């Protein structure tokens, strides 16, 4: 991508962030021969972002490209800050500006479909959720095996909600 195209894209991203009510305190980019599968960016750029975080008191990082759920999770772990990508930002802007019932439902559906594969980063701290009766029996209606993880439960609920929104 030519330099002017990169700068235009970052300028647009900053405008989207401001539209979402986010104060933009800086921006940077990196040319990569290969995307790092763990963090998307290279080690040096990651260190640069940690410096930005500390010097500019950054509490949110927005990436211009789509990040995988694993990359987002790893970046949040290393940077110790929330990380979103362009798609999440755009969905947030749409959510803030959708005023009709149809528009709100469309945005809600898009947000759920975007979040579904990213649920693991929200529930990494939870183990299994037990189900059953007070007598100690395991299992229960709607639960599989001796326990269902909170993640599995949330995925099932979101899939149901998506199906209802599409109906």
pTM of the model: 0.74
DSSP assignment of 75-87, as one string? HHHHHTSEEEEHH
Q: How far apart are CA 117 and CA 121, in angstroms?
A: 9
Q: How far apart, in Å, do the first and last CA atoms of the chain sit?
A: 41
Q: Which CATH superfamily is domain 3-93 in?
A: GTPase HflX, N-terminal domain (3.40.50.11060)
Return the DSSP state at 23.
P
Q: Phi and psi for 130 in degrees, rounded to 5?
A: -80, 155
In this prediction, residue 1 carries a pLDDT of 61
Q: For the segment 5-61, what is each residue's pLDDT rounded down to a tens digit? A: 889 999 999 999 999 999 999 999 998 889 999 999 999 999 999 999 999 999 999
In this prediction, residue 74 carries a pLDDT of 96
In this prediction, residue 126 carries a pLDDT of 47
Binned at pLDDT 50, 70 and 90, residue 127 comes out as: very low
In this structure, are residues 108 and 165 in contact, taking their beta carbons and an 8 Å threshold?
yes
In this prediction, residue 3 carries a pLDDT of 64
Q: Residues of 100-138 as b/e, b for ≥16 C-beta within 10 angstroms? A: eeeeeeebbebbeeebeebeeeeeeeeeeeebeeeeeee
């Amino acid at each position: 991508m030519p330099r002017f195209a990169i700068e235009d894209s970052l300028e647009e991203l900053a405008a989207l962030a401001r539209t979402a009510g986010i104060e933009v305190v800086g921006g940077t980019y990196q040319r990569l021969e290969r995307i790092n599968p763990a963090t998307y960016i290279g080690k040096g750029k990651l260190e640069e972002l940690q410096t930005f975080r500390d010097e500019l008191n950054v509490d949110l990082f927005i990436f211009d490209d789509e990040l995988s759920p694993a990359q987002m999770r790893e970046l949040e772990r290393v940077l110790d800050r929330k990380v979103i990508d362009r798609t999440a930002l755009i969905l947030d802007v749409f959510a803030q500006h959708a005023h009709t019932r149809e528009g709100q439902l469309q945005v809600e559906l898009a947000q759920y479909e975007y979040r579904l594969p990213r649920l693991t980063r929200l529930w990494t701290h939870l183990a299994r959720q037990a189900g059953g009766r007070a007598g100690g029996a395991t299992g229960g209606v709607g639960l599989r095996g001796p326990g269902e993880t909170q993640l599995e439960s949330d995925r099932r609920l979101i899939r149901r909600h998506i199906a209802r929104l599409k109906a």
